[in-house]
């Protein structure tokens, strides 16, 4: 038996949008805007039904069964073995290697030899003039490998990473041309290339690893030169151009954040590639990275550590090439002015800045096993250099004897047995995994971000969502998002002895082009007293927030995590906000909200909104102090009434015209119930001529079962109509 929906509601709206579009109109006057209201509340409502018993694990005889759990951690090491002349040594097996972890010998389970040729294959055919534009952003990702598998056996993995924020348009063209030349003439049959890009907003995977020359070339050809401009660093020393502007904030403060973002983006790219067991080379096209003293050292170390942990070597390629700049700059920069022009301070500062930017490239390359390619106009040689560095290596796999998930660093040593000798190059250690209970705040944030990037959903928590829309003005729509999680899943933390649980929420909305237009990040703290835990076992937890969007097609991805147990649930869906201004033949209406609960705002236990009046004027679902709780699953009990709310819009009418509306229920294509028609003659005083429509339907006379609920709205004056239909379920 399916139970009626009763909610323990926690409302939040820490919605953020990079375009600053979080504001929405007041309910009473759509012409007046107010910022998006942060509303966090837990609504406890009396339930008239008994819920199913859950979590019953004891057997009838009262005896218990012992449960044994074991975990194994597979560690994969890429080892390059060369003789004294630098030639690779082949033909080695498991018995030829010894591995110790923190001094403890380990048993090698697998040894796979990867032999990669460096001779280019036949030149691929020229791409057609009409290059196909592939849908890339928002969909492409690095396909992970299953643990212990080698999806790219005997293949060389080269990831081309273009930092568009660190290159001028001329340098971008030079980098793209070098990449195109390599794919056309120097790519071998063993090479697989991925294309990644950073332009300030995040790391985009334009193409996963592939050997399809035409596809790679088409993506390079369609990349827009000039992207990512505006995020670059600006110096603030003797070499800075004198623009005659008034004194402002020190540019170095902005450079700290810009550099951190560049390094964090590199770390994100390394984490993406870390899903693969093979050796990976990341070709980093940029024009240098300038560190700001010790301010960026923490992020620099985090990026290098992440690359080492994920088996990624950085191969930076300075897109500036060999430069011979004028002492006071060329025609692209202004005169520095001041005494530094005559003392040589300006020229020395410019030279020092250039060298510092190359020092960072050298550091990230050396520390990760790569090599920086600097001061050379033939950028293609840098790609070939990375290609030829990976010719032959062994993948050694073992199950570590230390299964403790403590997150500590474990040092690895690999040696050749017997009389074998050679130079070994491998990862010197790794950081062990962590149990969720030992996660730091940074670990938890990274876990949420990584989960948000995954294409496959995580179903440890069950999430249901409803997305509605209400027109605010001729351009914008308020989109309330309602998320429900079964409370019984959160009550598990109580069984573990926790006194409260923290629910983390993170979500983003992307447009039809894959660009993020709005996002939300929030936390909900729920106390787990005996009384609250019993209520959670019977009722779902509701979280709701809202966004202001333009008409169009969108995709929402929403994650919730129980901060006590670490379980995550993902919800992803596409939705459309229609342009109601173009509804000329039919009557324009909003989403139709079905509910079985109206709750007085005074019943809120947790409420971050101090003023009840503020919530009433900003949320269309709050009227006269009563909040409508949408039914996400649309399952209703016969013992409770059904509430229906929607809005009709008469944009072109000189004045609000009377409307007639009624609700019908159909079962097996036969009408079983219909409400008396209601007439609405007054509306809101706005340009849309908004007419709110509310129904209160008793369900006691209907038999249990599935119905089709239809809402009909008629405009006799304009001779227009609107129909809405959706399935509903009635239970005793």
Check pLDDT > 70 for residue 53. Answer: no
**Shared-domain flag, residues 178 and 105:** no
| 335, containing H or E segment | none
Is the Cα torsion angle 208, 212, 214, 217 positive or negative in sign? positive
What is the three-class DSSP state of 234? coil
Q: Give the Cβ contact number of residue 438 at 10 Å.
A: 11
The Cα–Cα gap between 254 and 553 comes to 35
- Sort 692 into a burial class: Cβ within 10 Å, 0-12 / 13-18 / 19+: middle
End residue of a domain, out of 370, 403, 432: 432
What span, in angstroms and rounded, lies between the C-alpha atoms of 408 and 385?
A: 34
Count of residues making up the chain: 732
The pair of three-digit structure tokens given for residue 62, joined into one six-digit string: 């009262």
Do 544 and 599 sit in the same domain of this protein?
yes
Q: What angle do CA 388, 391, 394 make, to 5 degrees?
A: 145
Q: Are residues 675 and 560 in the same domain?
A: yes
Domain final residue, candidates 402, 432, 462: 432
Give CA 562 to chain center in angstroms.
18
Q: For 488-501, what is each residue's pLDDT tens digit?
A: 666 555 555 556 67
For residues 731 and 200, which has the higher predicted lDDT (pLDDT)? Answer: 731
Given the structure tokens 């790569």, which residue do they identify?
370
3-class SS of residue 192: strand
The pLDDT of residue 425 is 85
Residue 299 above 70 pLDDT? Answer: yes
Do 369 and 419 belong to one domain? no
Q: Is there a domain that residue 529 lies in? A: yes
pLDDT score of 5: 41
Helices (H), 400-459: 441-453
Report the pLDDT averaged over residues 224-244: 53
120 CB neighbour count, 10 Å cutoff = 16
Give CA torsion, residues 584, 590, 591, 596, to 10 deg: -140
**Which of 101-110, 353-362, 525-534, 560-569 is the most confident on average?**
101-110
pLDDT at residue 289 in the model: 86
Q: Are residues 487 and 587 in the same domain?
A: yes
| Distance from C-alpha of 501 to C-alpha of 492, rounded to nearest angstrom | 10
Task: Give residues with Cβ within 8 angstroms of 45, minimum separation 6.
Answer: 6, 7, 539, 597, 599, 603, 629
Per the CB < 8 A criterion, the answer to whether 235 and 263 are in contact is: no
**Same domain for 575 and 476:** yes
Q: Assign residue 192 the CATH number of its domain.
A: 3.40.50.410
Q: At what angle do helices 345-368 and 297-309 cross, to 10 degrees?
A: 30
Residues 79-137 have pLDDT tens digits of 989 888 888 898 899 999 999 999 999 999 989 888 887 665 554 555 555 555 555 44
- Section 613-624 average pLDDT: 62
506 and 448 Cβ atoms separated by less than 8 Å: yes
**701: its two tokens:** 């006379």
Same domain, 204 and 305: yes
Number of compact structural domains in the chain: 3
Kindly indicate the confidence band of residue 338, based on its pLDDT and cuts at 50, 70 and 90: low
pLDDT tens readout for residues 353-389: 788 888 889 989 988 889 999 988 899 999 999 998 8
Q: For the beta carbon of residue 726, count every other beta carbon within 10 angstroms.
A: 12
Q: Is residue 131 part of a domain?
A: no
Q: Is residue 97 part of a domain?
A: yes
- Is position 191 within any domain? yes
537 and 586 within one domain: yes
- Three-state DSSP state, 660: strand
CA distance 600 to 624: 9
Domain that holds residue 535: 8-47+439-731
Same-domain status, 562 and 708: yes
The answer to the question of residue 684 being in a domain is: yes
Average pLDDT of the chain is 76
Q: Encoding tokens for residue 607?
A: 């409420």
Q: How far apart are CA 139 and CA 513, in angstroms?
A: 10
Q: Pick the residue with more confidence: 670 or 151? A: 670
Ranked by mean pLDDT, the top range of 55-69, 504-518, 595-609 is: 504-518
Domain boundary among 380, 403, 432: 432
**228 contacts 198 by C-beta, under 8 angstroms:** yes
SS3 166: helix
Structure-block tokens of residue 622: 């709050």
Q: In whole angstroms, give the CA distance from residue 187 to residue 190.
A: 8
Q: Quickly state the pLDDT bin for 283 (edges 50, 70, 90).
A: very high
Integer Cα distance of 491 and 495 in angstroms: 7
Cα 410 from chain centre:
30
Beta bridge partners of residue 412, listed in sequence order:
101
pLDDT digits (tens, 9 = 90+) for 390-444: 888 898 989 999 888 777 788 899 999 988 888 998 888 877 777 777 777 777 7
Q: Which of 233, 219, 221, 220 is nearest to 168 (CA)?
A: 233
- Measure the CA–CA gap between 642 and 664, rounded to whole angstroms: 13
Q: Between vectors from CA 78 to CA 76 and to CA 80, what angle results, nearest 5°?
A: 155
For 140, phi then psi, to 5°, come to -75, 145
**Residue 18 — very low, low, confident or very high, per pLDDT cuts 50/70/90?**
very low
* 694 and 720 fall within a common domain: yes
Q: Is 615 helix (H, G, I), strand (E, B) or coil?
A: helix
* Residue of 552, 596, 558, 585 whose CA lies nearest to 699: 596
Nearest of 190, 220, 225, 189 to residue 207 by alpha carbon: 220
387 Cβ contact partners less than 8 Å away, ≥ 6 residues apart: 118, 156, 158, 186, 188, 191, 281
Interior CA angle at 158 toward 152 and 160, to 5°? 140
Radius of gyration of the chain (CA): 31
Q: Are residues 403 and 384 in the same domain?
A: no
What is the Cα–Cα distance from 430 to 411, expressed in whole angstroms?
7
Q: How do residues 448-478 score in pLDDT, each as one tens digit?
A: 777 777 666 777 788 888 899 999 888 899 9
The confidence score (pLDDT) of residue 326 equals: 67
Question: What is the Cα–Cα distance from 206 to 135, expressed in whole angstroms?
Answer: 9
Q: What is the phi-psi region of residue 425: left when phi exceeds 0, alpha when psi lies from -120 to 50, beta otherwise?
A: beta
HSE (CB half, 13 Å, CA atoms) of 498?
20
CB 349 within 8 A of CB 238: yes
What span, in angstroms and rounded, lies between the C-alpha atoms of 437 and 460? 17
Percent with pLDDT over 90 in the chain: 23
Mean pLDDT value of segment 588-604: 78
Query: Which residue has 């002895």 as its token pair?
Result: 497
Angle between helix 297-309 and 251-273 (nearest 10): 10
What is the spatial order of strands in the sheet that 409-416 belongs to?
104-106, 97-101, 409-416, 429-431
Whether 151 is in a domain gets the answer: no
3-state SS of 209-233 is EECCHHHHHHHHHHCCCCCCCCCCC
Whether 69 is in a domain gets the answer no
**Cα–Cα dist 279/80, whole Å:** 10
Within a domain: 336: yes
**In the prediction, which pLDDT does 148 show?**
61
- pLDDT confidence of residue 173: 92
Which residues are within 8 A (CB) of 612 and not within 5 positions of it... i.e. 6 or more apart? 601, 602, 625
Residue 85 and residue 42 share a domain: no
Q: What is the mean pLDDT of residues 153-175?
A: 90
Are the C-beta atoms of 114 and 154 separated by less than 8 Å? yes
How far apart are the C-alpha atoms of 570 and 698, rounded to whole Å? 35
């Amino acid at each position: 038996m399916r139970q009626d929906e009763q909610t323990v509601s926690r409302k939040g709206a820490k919605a953020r949008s990079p375009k600053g579009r979080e504001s929405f109109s007041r309910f009473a006057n759509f012409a007046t805007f107010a910022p998006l209201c942060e509303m966090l509340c837990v609504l406890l409502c009396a339930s008239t039904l008994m819920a199913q018993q859950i979590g019953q694990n004891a057997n009838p005889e009262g005896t218990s069964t012992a449960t044994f759990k074991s975990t194994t951690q597979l560690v994969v090491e890429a080892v390059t073995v060369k003789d004294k002349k630098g030639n690779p040594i082949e033909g080695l097996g498991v018995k030829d290697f010894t591995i110790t972890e923190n001094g403890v010998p380990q048993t090698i389970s697998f040894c796979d030899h990867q032999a990669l040729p460096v001779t280019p294959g036949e030149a691929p055919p020229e791409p057609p003039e009409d290059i196909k534009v592939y849908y890339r952003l928002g969909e492409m990702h690095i396909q992970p490998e299953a643990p212990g598998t080698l999806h790219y056996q005997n293949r060389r993995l080269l990831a081309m990473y273009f930092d568009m924020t660190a290159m001028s348009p001329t340098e971008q063209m030079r980098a793209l041309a070098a990449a195109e030349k390599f794919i056309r003439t120097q790519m071998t049959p063993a090479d697989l290339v991925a294309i990644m890009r950073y332009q300030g907003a995040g790391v985009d995977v334009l193409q996963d690893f592939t050997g399809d020359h035409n596809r790679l070339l088409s993506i390079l050809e369609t990349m827009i030169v000039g992207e990512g401009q505006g995020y670059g660093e600006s110096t603030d020393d003797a070499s800075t151009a004198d623009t005659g502007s008034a004194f402002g904030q020190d540019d170095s403060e902005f450079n700290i954040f810009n550099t951190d973002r560049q390094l964090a983006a590199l770390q994100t790219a390394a984490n993406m590639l870390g899903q693969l067991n093979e050796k990976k080379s990341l070709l980093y096209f940029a024009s240098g990275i300038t560190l700001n003293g010790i301010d960026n050292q923490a992020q620099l170390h985090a990026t290098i550590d992440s690359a080492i942990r994920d088996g990624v070597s950085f191969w930076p390629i300075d897109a500036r090439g060999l430069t011979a700049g004028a002492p006071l700059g060329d025609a692209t920069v202004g005169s520095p002015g001041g005494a530094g022009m005559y003392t040589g301070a300006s020229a020395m500062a410019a030279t020092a800045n250039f060298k510092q930017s190359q020092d960072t490239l050298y550091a990230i390359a050396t520390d990760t096993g790569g090599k920086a390619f600097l001061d050379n106009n033939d950028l293609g040689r840098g790609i070939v250099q990375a290609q030829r560095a990976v010719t032959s290596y062994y993948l050694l796999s073992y199950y570590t004897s230390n299964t403790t998930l403590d997150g500590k660093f474990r040092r690895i040593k690999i040696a050749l047995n017997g009389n074998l000798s050679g130079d070994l190059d491998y990862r010197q250690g790794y950081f062990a995994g962590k149990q969720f209970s030992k996660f730091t705040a940074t670990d938890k944030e990274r876990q949420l971000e990584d989960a948000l990037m995954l294409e496959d959903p995580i179903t440890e928590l069950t999430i249901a969502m409803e997305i509605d829309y209400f027109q605010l003005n001729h351009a914008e729509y308020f989109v309330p998002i309602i998320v429900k999680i079964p409370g019984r899943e959160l009550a598990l933390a109580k069984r573990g002895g926790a006194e409260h649980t923290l629910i983390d929420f993170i979500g983003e909305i992307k447009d039809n082009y894959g660009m993020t237009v709005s996002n939300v990040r929030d936390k909900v703290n729920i106390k787990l007293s005996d009384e609250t835990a019993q209520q959670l076992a019977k009722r779902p937890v509701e979280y709701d927030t809202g966004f202001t969007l333009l008409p169009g097609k969108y995709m929402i991805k929403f994650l919730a995590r129980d901060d006590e147990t670490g379980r995550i649930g993902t919800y992803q869906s596409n939705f459309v906000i229609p342009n109601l201004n173009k509804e000329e033949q039919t009557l324009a209406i909003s989403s139709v909200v079905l509910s079985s609960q109206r709750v007085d705002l005074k019943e809120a236990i947790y409420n971050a909104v101090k003023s009840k009046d503020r919530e009433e004027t900003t949320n269309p679902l709050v009227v006269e102090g009563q909040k409508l709780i949408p039914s996400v699953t649309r399952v209703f009990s016969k013992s409770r009434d059904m509430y229906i709310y929607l809005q009709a819009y008469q944009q072109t009418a000189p004045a609000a015209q009377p409307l007639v509306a009624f609700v019908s229920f159909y079962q097996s294509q036969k009408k079983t119930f219909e409400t008396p028609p209601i007439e609405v003659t007054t509306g809101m005083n706005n340009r849309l001529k908004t007419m709110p429509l509310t129904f209160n339907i008793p369900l006691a006379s209907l038999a249990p079962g599935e119905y089709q609920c239809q809402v009909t709205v008629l405009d006799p004056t304009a001779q227009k109509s609107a129909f809405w239909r959706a399935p509903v379920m009635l239970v005793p």
